[in-house]
Structure 1
């Protein structure tokens, strides 16, 4: 993924347009549209090549009065050909552009569908901002190729080879001279084309770096401003933008060099051949019409080569963009889904078992997050997970939801190993209330309905009432239909938490995962929410990451973690009597008002 050394290695390997082959699976479903576009492209190229034939006849006839009728016929024929050419070109534009828009829509959906299901380990290797850059900048580059440049390239290839065939038919001698100039043009195209592609990939990487940094700081704009880091953020972003500009400038310079060399060589060769042809006409070896026809075809060939040199740079740039998107599509996930997943056990009971579980985060393989963890939770039991920061409590939740796979041991839910179930089947058994709830840029009603998309308005409001959210929601300007802003910026921390609790209540899952769901509430709201959670927990298995003694004392059992190991478990009174870490955390609760947070 996007590590500086691997990115440089990838760019060094970029030497051809072969990565564009990866677009074929997206083109294949639209073969009829592709065939229509190619047909119109061929028709347009054929009509283009017919024009010089009529022109030759006109020149050879001359402009004498006695040939006026035949001259008129040839000019009418040219108008008909021009009309057919215009119609075919318009049809080609329509089909090609439509194909490009369709393919790019499919590419965007495929990349997003792939990325949205990736585990957190995937996002430890690539920033969200870079993923967004690839979904926007890189896809736009590919769109220009599929919807335009590829068509132009194919059209000019047809004109190039068709024109060469007509050149040979018109004058083999002059055609041989033209062909001698081809190696002089092809060599710089291939050489500079590789450099353009390498620089294009580098340019896109630099844009992605800037996008990632902008996304990161804008999502934390209040923190940036609170710590007066605006100037530093501006300087850093400005530096990344300048790096992107420098990379883009180098790419543009390479393309400009490619263009000037190719065009100069092509037209110099054409002028030299025309010079020789003019002397042949003066010597009576050719007619003026043949020379005119040859000049036109030579101009077509030269124009096609010049256009291909321009388009080649675009194709190389698109190849780099395709490579980056293919990286996302083909990136291996640390959490592999079973090819033949087992269904969750029915009926759902909510039994959980950890057996000899060990785990290390991919980004920190040297440190064990969990070591030899083993415990069982009976259906309907409420268990509190307690311990200092970094003890492993949140990791338990992440392994249960299979955001990561355990390095050792086994985890089962209702007797079925979590690795044997599909992610969707497993997670349907859980309702999660994180300490920092995710609030989406939508209405309050839809944020609650996120827990169960098919829920009715009445069910949404019932869940809100149970979470003590109904009263404050009714005071919003449009009630439940009030827009809450990006990440819920229009709500307080406690209001966000109550919406998250309502969402979990609405989900109605057999296992609740609560990361101290009442930590941001005032005393009155906390009491109401705690009562709702107590009612909700009566017939459900509940795991609570507890930071408050009031929450801990309500649990049927407490599991105490320290440095990734279970050091004690049991009811509150017994653990206090035993002394040790739990007793110390309990004393801190009484004296300082909080147990150390995860």
Structure 2
């Protein structure tokens, strides 16, 4: 008895399976309850019509072919037409309703997944490949829809149809009905053996698909590097390995799923053969009702397809639940970095930023060690030092992408952890070397600095950023598209759009990360003028490897191995010597004008 119970539990669902299912229905069934009710009623009507089509076979055999009742021919034919018209209409309306519900559900879940991804902190994006994120948003929502559709169709279409046909079979011949249903326990026993293998293979397949998306994404984003270094062969080889893995897993899943077909076909064949032998024996030897027999056999044959789908129900559901579980993994993720429950809105027009003995590490590797520095309100602070000194980490901590492991970062004497994350970042503007623009209009990209800005304010920001002239020279002016990542613009143009975006933000804290590197002389001059306007009246942090760009800073902090090793003005640091003077000497040597060799002879 316990053995049978265990088999039924495995077939009907375990706690591991029912947990995601219950949650899925609670969250997504209620908004569509009335439409699901309509679809169920249509499926019940179609199931009843299917049963009626089997039941009427008795009248066709007995009244027309045996009794030869001419008057009932047209009546029975008319009933058949009505039955199939009802079945066709009910099937149409149920199918259209479920499709619309499913499309709405996918869009709704994808919005929830995208919002959940955007809420994650920077650490999430450093540990999750882009392909993994894309697959979870695109495929997992579809998997949730498939799971619900599978249950609704299995209950509303297959189960109701099967029950109505079984009712016809019982009405026509109760004894044969009981004997033909002995295959059910055998089918349950066979199907439950396949579930665990399918579950494991399905999850591996989804992860392999994510790897394929990642390879494609990286290849497209880095196509210039791919072409320059001739990396096509290496990428093709990696892609071939990934696709071969998906192919292998897909074949494995197909093989496992297909094993249910020969099982059901064989059992169905035994059941039908047994019914034919038993029913034929009754008709030959006991003069049983031939119309009832043919009605029974018709119902049994019609019940085969829904019975086979129900036999595969657990296998198909397990495939869908892989995506559902992965979807909830994202929805349940809680960002490590969040606003404190008692956090307050940040409100300040001027900012003095202080690092008070700050320690920080990425994992186990220390990056900042007891770092202390101060940026007074409306001053320009430059951070210089060799690569790996921790300069960019200072920016990340100011924006609170991470929290320090020790010490505190203060703004006007208040620990920034006391502010809500969103309000803190509204007070910070950022311009980086690798400017990122969204694939939209110039105006929309500038307006990202302050979405409620008026067209006049957007235009003024563009003028202050020395961007107005080249924008107006574009085919559609401010409505011209910048292309994916700003690909329709030059590096200097992208930089000026980014400066206009920062100007529009009107934030009291400004972060400039290598904002003028890799530009020609004219572009750098235009951007330096724009940056001068942007920096006015703001507390500005500047990172620059080219020391000539920071010599006018109010104070320069020289960093090395996560510590401040020198600080002062350019003149003070040059007089002091040390690392700053050494870096300056190296750059002066590197920047010596090129002297062509004298022509020979």
Q: TM-score, normalised by structure 1?
A: 0.90
Compute the displacement of 1:141 (Å).
4.2
Compute the displacement of 1:49 (Å).
2.0
> Which of 549, 552, 558 is the aligned partner of 1:551?
549
Could you say which residue in structure 2 is the equivalent of 1:574?
Answer: 572
Consecutive unaligned residues of structure 1, counting only runs of 5 or more, are 1-12
> Could you tell me how far apart the structure 1 residues matched to 2:23 and 2:404 are?
34
Structure 1 residues 176-215: aligned runs within 5 Å: 176-215=178-217
Structure 1 residues 117-136: aligned runs within 5 Å: 117-136=119-138
Compute the displacement of 1:233 (Å).
0.7
CA contact (8 A) 1:354 1:375 kept: yes
**Cα distance change on mapping 1:407 and 1:28 into 2, 3 Å:** farther
> Which stretch shows the higher mean deviation, 14-23 or 59-68?
14-23
> Could you tell me how far apart the structure 1 residues matched to 2:71 and 2:147 are?
46
Could you say which residue in structure 2 is the equivalent of 1:58?
Answer: 60
> Which of 454, 457, 463 is the aligned partner of 1:456?
454
> Which stretch shows the higher mean deviation, 350-359 or 67-76?
67-76
> Could you tell me how far apart the structure 2 residues matched to 1:254 and 1:66 are?
51
> Which of 356, 364, 367 is the aligned partner of 1:366?
364
Compute the displacement of 1:146 (Å).
4.2
CA contact (8 A) 1:129 1:216 kept: no
Could you say which residue in structure 2 is the equivalent of 1:45?
Answer: 47
CA contact (8 A) 1:501 1:517 kept: no
Compute the displacement of 1:17 (Å).
6.9
> Could you tell me how far apart the structure 1 residues matched to 2:140 and 2:225 are?
30
Structure 1 residues 74-153: aligned runs within 5 Å: 74-147=76-149, 150-152=152-154
CA contact (8 A) 2:64 2:70 kept: no
Structure 1 residues 94-493: aligned runs within 5 Å: 94-147=96-149, 150-152=152-154, 154-284=156-286, 286-345=288-347, 347-361=348-362, 365-493=363-491
CA contact (8 A) 1:15 1:197 kept: no
- SS of equivalent residue, structure 2 residue 372: strand
Compute the displacement of 1:542 (Å).
0.9
> Could you tell me how far apart the structure 1 residues matched to 2:562 and 2:524 are?
30
**Cα distance change on mapping 1:26 and 1:566 into 2, 3 Å:** farther
> Could you tell me how far apart the structure 1 residues matched to 2:134 and 2:504 are?
31
**Cα distance change on mapping 1:36 and 1:405 into 2, 3 Å:** farther
> Could you tell me how far apart the structure 2 residues matched to 1:128 and 1:537 are?
35
CA contact (8 A) 1:348 1:414 kept: no
**Cα distance change on mapping 1:19 and 1:313 into 2, 3 Å:** same
**Cα distance change on mapping 1:118 and 1:426 into 2, 3 Å:** same
- SS of equivalent residue, structure 1 residue 491: coil
CA contact (8 A) 1:20 1:318 kept: no
CA contact (8 A) 1:516 1:546 kept: yes
> Which stretch shows the higher mean deviation, 64-73 or 541-550?
64-73
- 1:523-555 CA distance string (max 9 Å, x none): 333233223322332211111112222332221
> Aligned pairs, how many?
578
Instruction: Note the aligned Cα RMSD (angstroms).
Output: 2.5
> Could you tell me how far apart the structure 2 residues matched to 1:530 and 1:66 are?
102
CA contact (8 A) 2:516 2:528 kept: yes
Could you say which residue in structure 1 is the equivalent of 2:529?
Answer: 531
> Could you tell me how far apart the structure 2 residues matched to 1:70 and 1:376 are?
100
Compute the displacement of 1:207 (Å).
1.2
> Could you tell me how far apart the structure 2 residues matched to 1:97 and 1:28 are?
17
> Could you tell me how far apart the structure 1 residues matched to 2:510 and 2:494 are?
18
Could you say which residue in structure 2 is the equivalent of 1:5?
Answer: none
CA contact (8 A) 1:44 1:85 kept: yes
CA contact (8 A) 1:15 1:194 kept: no
> Which stretch shows the higher mean deviation, 412-421 or 101-110?
412-421
Compute the displacement of 1:340 (Å).
4.7
- SS of equivalent residue, structure 1 residue 495: helix
CA contact (8 A) 2:147 2:321 kept: no
Compute the displacement of 1:312 (Å).
4.2
Compute the displacement of 1:132 (Å).
1.0
CA contact (8 A) 1:202 1:247 kept: yes
Consecutive unaligned residues of structure 2, counting only runs of 5 or more, are 1-13, 593-601
> Could you tell me how far apart the structure 2 residues matched to 1:154 and 1:418 are?
56
Compute the displacement of 1:355 (Å).
2.4
**Cα distance change on mapping 1:262 and 1:215 into 2, 3 Å:** same
> Could you tell me how far apart the structure 1 residues matched to 2:68 and 2:581 are?
117
Q: TM-score, normalised by structure 2?
A: 0.90
> Which stretch shows the higher mean deviation, 280-289 or 422-431?
280-289
**Cα distance change on mapping 1:193 and 1:232 into 2, 3 Å:** same
CA contact (8 A) 1:97 1:148 kept: no
> Which stretch shows the higher mean deviation, 533-542 or 232-241?
533-542
**Cα distance change on mapping 1:413 and 1:42 into 2, 3 Å:** farther
- SS of equivalent residue, structure 1 residue 440: coil
> Could you tell me how far apart the structure 1 residues matched to 2:170 and 2:269 are?
18
CA contact (8 A) 2:464 2:533 kept: no
> Could you tell me how far apart the structure 2 residues matched to 1:149 and 1:240 are?
32
